Amino acid sequence: MTTTIYKQISANKAKTWLIILLFIVFFFVVSYVLGKALGYGLSFAGIMLIISGLISFFSYFNSDKIVLSMSGAKPADKNSHRAFYATVENLSIAAGLPMPKVYVVDDPAPNAFATGRDPKHAAVAATTGLLEKLNKAELEGVVAHELSHVGNYDTRLMGIVSILVGSIAILADVFLRSMFWGGDRDRDSRGNQIFMIIGIVAAILAPIAATLIQLAVSRRREYLADASGALLTRYPDGLADALLKIAADPKPLKHASNATAHFYIVNPFKGKAAKSFLTGLFSTHPPVEDRVRILRAV
């Protein structure tokens, strides 16, 4: 198990750059098709690539601040949240990671997340509900899971993927708005009419395809973090019990949003647990039952 996890961590780092490359190619192809549909061609693709690059650069270095702000997280007080702070500190030492910044979200719904572009710029946050409702072993399981996201570079991977998915959405929105502003003068040619049809289809489907890729990557990362967390604490049942307790709580997070949902240890939206193929396809997390079953079998 240990060897497999280390191989997956190494592969995760390599996949980060592979996903970036594939997304850039995907973005450029979609940009060219949409630009051609508007009569601009490569110039439109070039401009959008530059704009996307600037957005990505800013977001990459500020993703942790953005996520923490959107989640309503505040720095944890060492005295008021002594057990939480000590758990993060002790498990960081055990994992060989730098001590991340520790945050607390004032929310009765139990949940937690990690963010940051690398272990040196990481943050771990938990809700007040989680800190009140979990016992020591369960809290250790959750913290180990989140630290595993940091150590496995999942926070970087998902941050980059989120930025690229957002860029695709912006691109599609710019195209649809530009249709009403008017494109180049050869827009009425037969060839351009064909590109216009292809462009409209691409503008609708590209954001969906990008989002599905993001969600699939997110679900895979949860399984790996579960395994890495169990390896760190040597007590898989602690995390398994915590997952069941978090999932069973009916209260949704007050600051939950589609932009940050994939960061949390359990889907922050409650009351949407209907099981179907489409639900699983568009879910940010694998089913808790599957995660618990795997942990129990370790």
Distance (Å, whole) CA 85 – CA 90 = 9
Q: Look at residues 156, 116, 167, 126 and name the one whose alpha carbon lies nearest to residue 253.
A: 126
Q: Exposed, middle or buried: residue 57 (CB in 10 Å: 0-12, 13-18, 19+)?
A: exposed
Provide the annotated active-site residues.
146
Q: Exposed, middle or buried: residue 220 (CB in 10 Å: 0-12, 13-18, 19+)?
A: middle
Q: Could you please report the per-residue DSSP string of the chain? A: -HHHHHHHHHHHHHHHHHHHHHHHHHHHHHHHHHHHHHT-THHHHHHHHHHHHHHHHHHHHHHHHHHHHHTTEEEPPTTTTHHHHHHHHHHHHHHT-PPPEEEEE--SS--EEEE-SSGGG-EEEEEHHHHHH--HHHHHHHHHHHHHHHHTTHHHHHHHHHHHHHHHHHHHHHHHHHHHH---GGGGSHHHHHHHHHHHHHHHHHHHHHHHHHHHHHHHHHHHHHHHHHHHHS-HHHHHHHHHHHHH--PPPTT--TTTGGGBSS-S--S-----HHHHHT-SS--HHHHHHHHHH-
